[in-house]
Structure 1
């Protein structure tokens, strides 16, 4: 039986562990957060995409959560699925990857294949991970193999998961590629080998840079379309009818999540550091997308002025504060800078989100309203930041004095971007 150790049991690592255990692979879910380990071993999930029943089923299939790196000694494969947040220099903070690699090296056995899934800049697997693992005394390419396989988890998107999303694999050596391909083929329908680890690392960054740039395009078009009295949502609806040469992207109050607002910066930072010139598309896209929260606040001021009200002292109800619809994930949510700017401008801000009970922004916690309908009726302006399916938009529009829809879902009676 194949034994797998998945380092990191968050939004990436836990679904990977679930998919592998469902195919008869013995899985250790390794996480340094003792509370997470206890929760998982008790059959409780802490992420949106897996229910408690899923975790309970994993336990019956042999899954075990642990914080003890010694389980690496039993592993045929080790996958590293730890966060790579944006560092102070604009590149990825590789601290979690480096720490994991050093701990793995202390227990690494001959014959093991180590696969990095955490998003990073091209060259990390070969230039950072391999030397750290060789501190074990084992020789890469002879005693163990290393590959990179970018995570493609899309939280809250049930149509595609680990099993039916094609898996890219690039080894530092051809043997590393082959080993990783054989492993993922046990539980992933389509595995796509690439030339090497750098190509796999770059492919992940291309995917997210593509989305980042195209979101910036429609965000900028939304701004000048408003000035030209053009309905951007109708424009997008029309363009999206073309069956080729166009992919639909929608504007919004900004971009959120761990990938889109962060990953392209890894590439931009690496290009500038390595080659000495900027990746201008990414820098421009970042500027546009980062300015969207301020634009939303500016539009809020204009809408209130149209009702002879000042933002200072007005009550603003925020609807939806997560970065994606229908999940509780708040990572890098653009709702945070929107709320922060509204508070600093003197607005009386509260929120409602069916997935979020408590919400803190840099200036402090915001009140979650207990009665949505009453709050909508009393608010000077209702600001929709995330379009959860739970919301009754017809009812919200009916009850609100002024409704600002940043997601283009509420209909013609609402003010939009």
Structure 2
């Protein structure tokens, strides 16, 4: 090997080795590129990554960790087998903790946390805390059970013991219509309380129907736009893009007016004597799907149109010249080339439809509300962020699972937006 001497090193005009100069230029170029990308990266992290991470954390976080309010009780419950009612030592520790909680004004936190799993117990805990504060001596077990039968139930103490950790699976289980029994085993909630599985199925079913409707309506329009002369297709494109020029709330309100019993649609039906009475269009599944389809139609149509514009008309002409009929040439030559656009448009519409809230709330009935309505209810009325986060986390994971299945069957790499 021949050693490179100093005179053999290639240098720039200012005497700096060329290799070092190139490294500095490359480093400077990378820093400039990072500077251009950094604002967008920060925006994505703050508006997307952080909220999703917070939601996932809240789904398993127990903000009402009552182990700090009932430290002696939690310590005494460690030796409890969970089979029978706890012994006198647990009740004595509970009384001592509640008396201290009354002084600290934190006893209501115990009732709030237990009320998540045992509806109606909050008022009993608050009323019981006032009575416990007046107890002078034991036996405390008999005294508490005499105050309220809830303290003689195994479920109450099992729930208190489960609430001793800062992390909990309660919200996720409740969002799937599961609960833990007194033996800490997972079981289905009573049928009259099981609502969330039905809501999840309804959400995905409505999203699928909307996606299918936008595909059936949007594909012919996209084909027409792609094959018409430019002066006509541009005019039609303006009508396609009109929904983007008005807000979602305005479009939904317009459908609310049109679908009423005395709205324009029913008035026309009555005028033409097509039906005996007004059709049930508002507060119905039909109205929900119709309004959502109108809003989502451009999201399905535009990716299909952009892919169709790239398909050369000579492909179909070549098939026709080889003896293929019009339908056969379209189905075997033209349609397969539009699948990437169909995949992109349908996936975009389906994911967006999963999160609809305003449209089902305004034009849908009680049986047409989606997961987003339950999230809003948990936040605005119940002030239960854990439940809301669990519903959002389950919807996110279900969407990711469907996306994975879609990727295996169709392939994300085949999607094109133009």
**TM-score, length basis structure 2:** 0.24
**TM-score, length basis structure 1:** 0.24
Greater percentage in helix: 2
Greater percentage in strand: 1
Larger Rg: 2
